[in-house]
Chains A and B, each alone.
Chain A
Amino acid sequence: MRPVYLDNNATTRVDPAVVDAMLPFFTEQFGNPSSIHSFGASVGVSVKKARQQLQQLLGAEHDHEIIYTASGTEADNTAILSALEAMPGRDEIVTSAVEHPAVLALCQHLEKTGRAKVHYIGVDSLGRLDIEAYRNALSDKVALVTLMWANNETGTLFPVEGLAELAKEHGAVFHTDAVQAVGKVPIVLKGSAIDMLSLSGHKLHAPKGIGALYVKRGTRFKPLLRGGHQERGRRAGTENAPGIIGLGKAAELAIEHMVDEQTRVKELRDRLEKAILQRIPNCFVNGDPRERLPNTSNIAFEYVEGEAILLHLTRQGIAASSGSACTSGSLEPSHVMKAMNVPFTAAHGSIRFSLSRDNVPEDVDQVIDALPKILEKLRELSPFWAGANKDPNDFKPVYA
């Protein structure tokens, strides 16, 4: 059985060229980049090159605007805590109800411990931010606005550049969790109102354990990790040189593959989506059909539960993921599906297919072949399926 990997929003395969770039930094080039001797200096030069590669991918004005971290979560946490600390007299945070837990869990903690008042802005049925509510939440009490660039479950894109402009009108720091967007959509930070941006290496074919936080020059910043003077004193701890170099190479490759991501990968995604919608009754796409990541398709299947679908897919060599939190121990649908008001009849049966440049047409064919039979089998088992309206002419997606 041919394995088909369609869970690239969870993590991606490390590109062989990235591995090649990293390998010498485990062996012959093992020096500490902070050391001044030759062992360290040569690594320092490569780290600088990697920083410039990432600068280019982000369209940042200066390479020193990038701080390496151990993950996207660390980048998010650093940004939020830094902004709160660096903005005395302001104790409010504006975020959305559909953020990744790396942002949401910290915001909830800050709220619970009385350190900040948090405004959770809702979304509509397509996952689009309620702009009016966002405008109303902004004030000169807001220290930080943190809004994701692309949603990890649905791929829906927030218009972050515009949202950042609005935040600046109130003097708030604007941070975006761009973990899912970097490498998939063009980003130009130079000249934008975005102050901080988080990314994670393993979402763009670099290894796990390396992330970065972009901090625009001039943004007031307080480090999360204190200790040595690495990263210009903004993130203590010996640099993960192999990871940094891998991320640099991955950034260079992401620039090369950006067009492929926007065209070929998107076409594959669209073909998969169209075939599923045509062949399987009572299902619809979650998320904004237009403003969406090119690689992501989240489809809600009525009257079946996501984990059950995934188990069958896994048995047929296909890896995807579920919007149903049942997979992770809760019976509630994901907070994203809930925020979008996806009906319970479908929210539990949401499956996310996330593609990458590694995918080929045969992968899509395999899913199109397997999925209708799986749904048929599980729906036969479902006590709700017999009473469902199966007339395709009557069936309307939640956002229609």
Chain B
Amino acid sequence: MWDYTDKVKDYFFNPKNAGVLGEANAVGEVGAISCGDALKLMMKVDPETEVIQDAKFQTFGCGSAIASSSALTELIIGKTLEEAVSITNQDIADFLGGLPPEKMHCSVMGYEALQAAIANFRGEEWHDDHDEGALVCKCFGVDEGVIERAIRMNKLTSIEQVTDYTKAGGGCLTCFDKLEDLLAKVNGELVAEGLIAEHAAYRIGGSDAAELKAKAKAKKETEKAPVREVAAAATSPIAPSSPLPPPSAGMTNLKKIRLIEEAIEELRPYLKKDGGDCELIDVDGNNVMVNLKGACMACQMASVTISGIQERLIAKLGIPIRIIPVKNHAH
């Protein structure tokens, strides 16, 4: 069991502001049951002053997730949205007297829920990056989808680059093996597509976890140096000139649907080989409704099939896609 501070335990066993806030006019929902963590933050904001008058939460998660959610509500009540928007996940962790490194993602979830709720109040769209494959970096809550997309879009070829672009691996680095696997896998695909040279592609064993940790430590020391030196140290030839574009940038709905159809067509022979099939029913944003047919429908491995199709679509489209199996009543 984790070595939680007394304050974490107190906020877990006696959570403040737990429950549903009926008068909420700003709601942020992040995480997913598949990730093992989900938080619904409800706030009552004064439309005139933008002061957060009340806040409540509901959390599905571990001890530190519940404690972080409760701490978040304590931190934001009485603040204006402008003040609240600058609250970081570190503020949540500090409020609780610290969290185990592996549980820092719980505070990140609180931060994300707050951003989502504020965006909701302001009528803006907020992207939840969860639900894109397995969580890889637990310190920073970065999942497979985000990492794969960053590698692909920026043609990243080293673990350090992946950390710079996604934060994954910037903490305890216990995700080193997974990062290696993802980097080698996506680089292999990029080589096959002629997008990077074979000699530049990352190979398993190309980095040493201990060396990376030592470098990160040295870099941290550098960051404590004066601002001008930091700027110099952070400049890298591979640094992007602009932040990552939004996931669905540059893709029309028509193109998206065509690519989805193509991907399903490519998979069809494999499904048919096992006596099944998959039919595209509808596309709603990034939700793709499919009808599994034949052996696929009754197969106890249906969820594996679905995640396989989902992986294929994400790889092909380069955007987060969720496959939802539905029965096709129209046919």
Q: Name B1-36 residues within 8 Å CB distance of A.
A: 1-2, 9, 12-13, 15, 18-20, 29, 33-36
Across-interface contacts of A332 in B (CB, < 8 A)? 36, 134-135
Given A307-B63, A331-B138, A344-B34, is A383 in contact with B58 using a C-beta cutoff of 8 Å? yes
Give A80 to B157 CA distance when docked, in angstroms.
35
Within the complex, which residue of B20, B36, B134 is in contact with A305, where a contact is CB–CB below 8 Å?
A: B36
User: In the complex, how many angstroms separate the beta carbon of A224 from the nearest chain B beta carbon?
Assistant: 24
Q: Is A139 interfacial (CB 8 A cutoff)? A: no
Across-interface contacts of A348 in B (CB, < 8 A)? 33, 36, 60
Given A331-B105, A383-B40, A383-B58, is A308 in contact with B15 using a C-beta cutoff of 8 Å? no
Contact between A308 and B301, CB atoms less than 8 A apart: no
Q: Name A322-339 residues within 8 Å CB distance of B.
A: 324, 326-327, 329-333
CB nearest neighbor in B for A315: B13
Q: Is B66 interfacial (CB 8 A cutoff)? A: yes
User: In the complex, how many angstroms separate the beta carbon of B280 from the nearest chain A beta carbon?
Assistant: 24
Contact between B300 and A305, CB atoms less than 8 A apart: no
Q: Is A304 interfacial (CB 8 A cutoff)? A: yes
Across-interface contacts of B138 in A (CB, < 8 A)? 329-331
Q: Is B59 interfacial (CB 8 A cutoff)? A: yes
Compute the total of residue contacts between A and B using a CB distance below 8 Å. 89
CB nearest neighbor in A for B304: A341
Given A329-B138, A382-B60, A383-B58, is A305 in contact with B65 using a C-beta cutoff of 8 Å? yes
Within the complex, which residue of B15, B61, B102 is in contact with A329, where a contact is CB–CB below 8 Å?
A: B102
Q: How many chain B residues touch A (Cβ–Cβ < 8 Å)?
A: 37
Per-position contact with A for B297-321: 1 when CB-CB < 8 Å, else 0? 0001101100000000000000000
CB nearest neighbor in B for A398: B300
Contact between A344 and B33, CB atoms less than 8 A apart: yes
Q: Is B174 interfacial (CB 8 A cutoff)? A: yes
Q: Is A190 interfacial (CB 8 A cutoff)? A: no
The secondary-structure label for the interface of chain B is mixed
19 new A-B pairs (CB below 8 Å) besides A381-B15, A384-B33? Answer: A303-B33, A305-B60, A305-B65, A308-B12, A308-B63, A314-B1, A326-B62, A327-B1, A327-B2, A329-B102, A329-B174, A330-B135, A331-B105, A331-B135, A331-B138, A332-B36, A344-B36, A345-B33, A383-B40
Of the A-B pairs whose beta carbons lie under 8 Å apart in the complex, a sample of 28, sorted by A's number, is A112-B204, A122-B301, A304-B60, A305-B36, A307-B1, A307-B62, A307-B63, A308-B62, A311-B9, A324-B36, A326-B36, A326-B61, A329-B102, A329-B138, A331-B36, A331-B135, A341-B301, A341-B304, A343-B303, A344-B34, A344-B36, A345-B33, A348-B33, A380-B18, A381-B58, A381-B60, A382-B58, A382-B59
B residues with CB within 8 A of A: 1-2, 9, 12-13, 15, 18-20, 29, 33-40, 58-63, 65-66, 102, 105, 134-135, 138, 174, 204, 300-301, 303-304
A residues with CB within 8 A of B: 112, 122, 124-125, 303-308, 310-312, 314-315, 324, 326-327, 329-333, 341, 343-345, 348, 380-384, 386
